[in-house]
Structure 1
Amino acid sequence: MDIKKLAEQFKFYRRFGKSGWNIYRDEHQSDKPIIEFRNRELKHPLFLRRKTSDFDVFKQVIYNQEYKIHTGFDAEYIIDAGGNIGLASVHFKNRFPNAKIICVEPESGNFEMVQKNTKPYPDIIPVKAGVWNKTTYLKIIDSSVASWGFMVKETAADDPTALPAVSIGDLMRTYHFPRIDILKMDIEGSEKEVFEENYDEWLSKTRILLVETHDGMRKNAAKTLFRALDKYDYQLGTSGENLLIYLNN
């Protein structure tokens, strides 16, 4: 291992102790396809696919704690839109043990990891779907990017590659959410469509938005978000790569 990687491995050791040392070593040296992370910060172990984007997601969510935000209340209803492999949902569940969490992810390989990582937490509900502004069907666009960058577009129901899409309002009705305490959204540009229409029914019942906008994938995605927010009273901040929006609902 070169000096740069060794220095980074020591950072993981300082952050997590032996488990940090081991997860970094396994990512870079193991021949196992799935590696495991156990640490006292989390009630149950996490699993990552080696040599994929999973380790980068782990660094953002678990190591850097980009979703460790100030709430001022004990969140009970959380939606993780664009769940990837479920790490944000696991983070929120360990921070807010009484929360009911919906983790939505459309891509099959990622969704299998969502199921694996969230299985010990009965109040995390995995949903294999895309997030859109209505009930419809989507297809994944092969954008030649890592597994955390899948984009989608609308398609016909009889498309053999079609997958279901749900709106945030659909999710609230199906799982009986009276409100959304935290809505984390990282959906690779689809936030543009989500905030174009049919958003008032759920946005008016949302307390905190954590949104990563992707103007490089969907032109004017951020502008569409702020246009939707225009009639709401909110405070704006950032957390890592995310916009952090406190809504005074």
Structure 2
Amino acid sequence: MTEIKSVQVADGVSFFVPQTGDGQFSEVSFIYHEIFEDRTYLRHGIKLSDTSRIVDAGANAGLFSVFVKQQFPGARVLAMEPIPPIYEALQRNLEAHGVEGVDARNLALGEKSEQVKFTFYPVIPGNSTRYPEQKKVGQELTVGHIGQAEVDRVMTGIEVEAQVERLSTVLADWAPGERIDLLKIDVEGAELDVMRGLDDEDWARVDQTVIEVQDLDGRLDTIVALLEDKGFSVVKERAEMPEEYRYHMVYATRQP
């Protein structure tokens, strides 16, 4: 059974996360370190302000949205998370941290409007995905560290149905005609789905984007090429995890 429980990630700092009876909390601590301490999403010229509009695609339990609102209280955030237990944790975190100005929606982004099956991993909810087959690389590499039995336990998934919408459709409702200062994408293998759901005229109003990418089947080069085609200058760097996992961060800005 998955419950929503509060986890301390630093002195005086806690966040709600979905948890199974034997869940571990290294994942949320890692995410906290990445966002709050390393400030991963404010590198390579990414700038925000109190007037920024930010789209948080793959909001997970809401740590990035909370970080943005603590740093830039006047910013507006659209946070989207498709997995119901994770979305519940997101809502509770926004409330617990006194965050206002975040429009949280229980949905995913993709190329078209549809209902889709996602795989929810209760032990490591941040890895929940529309494409569970892409997790095989990480599973195979992790066996050598923690053993097959523990990998099987951690990667036991539950299928859930989620609504998928095109980002252009969502933006027409949330910020019609307005600039989008940052599009943050962390969607566990569905990056290109999200990007292809944004029409050219809407790409033109996106000023910056940061995307986490696992480089499978040439995906990193495809994403970089798409961003450059949309007029962005792109910087890519390896994410702070073992190289063999193939994770990268992609930073895209428009030159003045």
The TM-score with structure 1 as length reference comes to 0.71
CA distance in 1, matches of 2:11, 2:78: 24
Relative to structure 1, the CA distance from residue 220 to residue 142 in structure 2 (aligned partners, 3 Å threshold; closer, same or farther) is farther
Partner of 1:11: none
**Preserved contact between residue 235 and residue 251 of structure 2 (Cα < 8 Å):** yes
Partner of 1:47: 15
- How far apart are residue 77 of structure 1 and its match? 0.6
Q: Does 1:107 align with 2:112?
A: no
CA distance in 2, matches of 1:126, 1:240: 29
State which of 112, 116, 129 in structure 2 corresponds to 1:134: 112
CA distance in 2, matches of 1:214, 1:144: 21
CA distance in 2, matches of 1:206, 1:110: 27
Partner of 1:91: 67
3-state DSSP of counterpart to 1:113: helix
- 5 Å-filtered alignment, 1:168-187, equals 168-177=167-176, 178-187=178-187
- How far apart are residue 180 of structure 1 and its match? 0.9
3-state DSSP of counterpart to 1:67: helix
Superposed CA deviations along residues 120-150 of structure 1, whole A, max 9, x for unmatched, are 2220111111111222222113679821111
- How far apart are residue 37 of structure 1 and its match? 5.9
3-state DSSP of counterpart to 2:229: coil
5+ long unaligned stretches in structure 2: 18-22, 132-158, 240-248
CA distance in 2, matches of 1:222, 1:199: 21
- 5 Å-filtered alignment, 1:1-249, equals 33-36=5-8, 46-49=14-17, 51-52=24-25, 53-69=27-43, 70-72=45-47, 74=49, 75-119=51-95, 120-141=98-119, 146-152=124-130, 161-177=160-176, 178-196=178-196, 198-216=198-216, 219-238=217-236, 241=239, 242-248=249-255
CA distance in 1, matches of 2:122, 2:218: 22
CA distance in 2, matches of 1:36, 1:145: 16
Give the fraction of aligned pairs with identical amino acids, expressed as a percent.
19
- How far apart are residue 64 of structure 1 and its match? 2.0
**Preserved contact between residue 55 and residue 77 of structure 2 (Cα < 8 Å):** yes
Greater Rg over alpha carbons, structure: 1
Opposite residue 250 of structure 2, the aligned amino acid is L
CA distance in 2, matches of 1:38, 1:142: 26
3-state DSSP of counterpart to 1:121: coil
Opposite residue 192 of structure 2, the aligned amino acid is K
**Preserved contact between residue 101 and residue 125 of structure 1 (Cα < 8 Å):** yes
Figure out how many residues of one structure are paired with residues of the other and give that number: 206
**Preserved contact between residue 83 and residue 120 of structure 2 (Cα < 8 Å):** no
- How far apart are residue 72 of structure 1 and its match? 4.9
**Preserved contact between residue 227 and residue 234 of structure 2 (Cα < 8 Å):** no
Relative to structure 1, the CA distance from residue 106 to residue 71 in structure 2 (aligned partners, 3 Å threshold; closer, same or farther) is same
Superposed CA deviations along residues 21-54 of structure 1, whole A, max 9, x for unmatched, are xxxxxxxxxxx942346879xxxx6414472322
5+ long unaligned stretches in structure 1: 1-31, 154-159
**Preserved contact between residue 130 and residue 138 of structure 1 (Cα < 8 Å):** no
Opposite residue 51 of structure 1, the aligned amino acid is Q
CA distance in 2, matches of 1:230, 1:71: 16
